[in-house]
Amino acid sequence: MRDYLKFYINGQWVDPLSPRSLDVINPATEAVAGRISIGSAADVDRAVRAARAAFATYSQTSLDERVALLEKIIEEYKKRYADMAAAVTEEMGAPAKLANDSQAAIGIGHLSTALSVLKEYKFQEARGTTTLFKEPIGVCGFITPWNWPVNQIACKVAPALAVGCTMVLKPSEIAPFSAQVWTEILDAAGVPAGVFNLVNGDGPGVGTAIASHPEVDMVSFTGSTRAGIEVARNAAPTVKRVHQELGGKSPNIILPDADFKRAVTSGVRGVMQNSGQSCNAPTRMLVPNARMAEALEYAKAAAEATTVGDPVSSGATIGPVVSAAQWDKIQTLIAKGLEEGATLVAGGPGKPEGLSTGYYVKPTILGGVNNAMTVAREEIFGPVLVIMGYDTVDEAVEIGNDTVYGLAAYVSGGDIDAARKVASRLRAGQVNINSAPTDLNAPFGGFKQSGNGREWGEDAFGEFLETKAVVGFTPRSKT
């Protein structure tokens, strides 16, 4: 039983100003796994004021000092690696292997990437007699989700620390354990008081207070498009910078000359990983109508090879989804798809056999889908793939782009030039060709209602910097 009832403000673990607690549910057991305190606007104000005070000195630290700090954080993270992986499994149900090999690993990945970028980053540039200075934007508010909890904390905090910002973090109240471990790591690493602050809570109480606080200079939010709109609305009166990484309904176009078995199988696995709870999952698969029967056969086999089970067991490919509310939403959308005429290829409504306790969902494939159906338009956020047909590549691209989202897209094909051409036509912030591995230096973010701004790698630094032009910094030559 984890009791995390204090907040981390100004380098100290402190009690909330108005004590109120929330039970955290283990999605595999449906039992209470711990408690956190729910913060208030007053707690946020206390944290923001600590961050503002710390900014005066931390923003003036040298590059070498910030390099040393990131190196120390990485050192402490390695000591707590197993604790981080265990926290993710318990709070949101990621299988132990996924939690260890991906969820916890990506935290070190983002820290290491930020460290590498920092060592070479140019914070000053001469343009004639004018010199441009890139300076930390100030106090940052971070509101992070439950699905890849460490990833979304690390890819915000690491670059913000690297460039000299201070910050207040509100992690998801559904999955707050990993944020606690993260904070303990930063405390052990000696992050100066006030530079990083943690306030647990819900969106209305803490998220709104962060987004609207006049002393917060930028807010970075990851979550649903609906919630992102509210964050932007709350931030608007103070004209702060708003960075958003929101929803997705990513197309996965399998070209006629692709290695079909490999491409379809990889596409199914990409959706099922993390129980389908990834905003960039390739959830709309587009295949040539002439090869539809073949595609459905491969997809069915891949779904049925996906083992659902207890996340602490060694044999589980995927665990539960995060909550009862999420399970209900997924079930409703599966039923809606069947009602609207989709064909059930694999999985379907209800829990997998033998798993009556826990928020488990059957790996589900829906065929016979067209892009007007609800399951092709709405983000399901579960292990559910819809498959649609096309007759021409132009039609596939048109269907792929026919969405309010634009976070990610996928293309598989034997002719790399043809695949590149399709990739160039897709309206998405990141396009993956032929199941290329994750690149933490590649900018991550969306077009359209998938958000604005970019995370990961060098591009992430710009989100936390302002540009100052000093005209006449270099005097004109008198000759």
- What ranges do the domains of the chain cover? 2-246+446-470, 251-433
Among the listed residues 90, 91, 173, 245, the single catalytic one is: 245
**For strand 139-143 and strand 343-346, is the pairing parallel, antiparallel, or unpaired?**
unpaired
pLDDT band at 479 (very low <50, low <70, confident <90, very high): low
Is 353 catalytic? The answer is no
pLDDT of residue 476: 85
Question: Which whole number is the average pLDDT over 289-303?
Answer: 98
pLDDT of residue 119: 98
pLDDT of residue 252: 98
Beta-bridge partner residues of 273: none
Do 385 and 365 meet the contact criterion of CB atoms below 8 Å apart?
A: yes
| Per-residue pLDDT tens digits for 78-131 | 999 999 999 999 999 999 999 999 999 999 999 999 999 999 999 999 999 999
Do 221 and 256 meet the contact criterion of CB atoms below 8 Å apart?
A: no
Among the listed residues 140, 155, 165, 279, the single catalytic one is: 279
Could you give the CA distance from residue 278 to residue 407 in angstroms, rounded to a whole number? 11
Nearest to 37 by CA among 23, 15, 20, 24: 20
Q: Mention every residue, 6+ apart, whose C-beta is less than 8 A from residue 265.
A: 298, 299, 301, 302
| CATH 3.40.309.10 correct for 251-433 | yes
Do 250 and 410 meet the contact criterion of CB atoms below 8 Å apart?
A: yes
Amino acid at 459: D
Phi–psi pair at 168, nearest 5 degrees: -130, 130
CATH classification number, 2-246+446-470, choose in 3.40.605.10, 1.10.3720.10, 3.40.50.960, 3.30.930.10: 3.40.605.10
| Per-residue pLDDT tens digits for 46-81 | 999 999 999 999 999 999 999 999 999 999 999 999
Give the predicted TM-score (pTM) of the model. 0.97
The proportion of the chain whose per-residue pLDDT surpasses 70, expressed as a percent, equals: 100
| Per-residue pLDDT tens digits for 333-354 | 999 999 999 999 999 999 999 9
Question: Which whole number is the average pLDDT over 235-246?
Answer: 98
The proportion of the chain whose per-residue pLDDT surpasses 90, expressed as a percent, equals: 98
pLDDT of residue 477: 79
Is 140 catalytic? The answer is no
Longest dimension (CA), the chain: 86
Do 166 and 191 meet the contact criterion of CB atoms below 8 Å apart?
A: no
State the average pLDDT for the chain. Answer: 97
Nearest to 198 by CA among 236, 249, 143, 147: 143
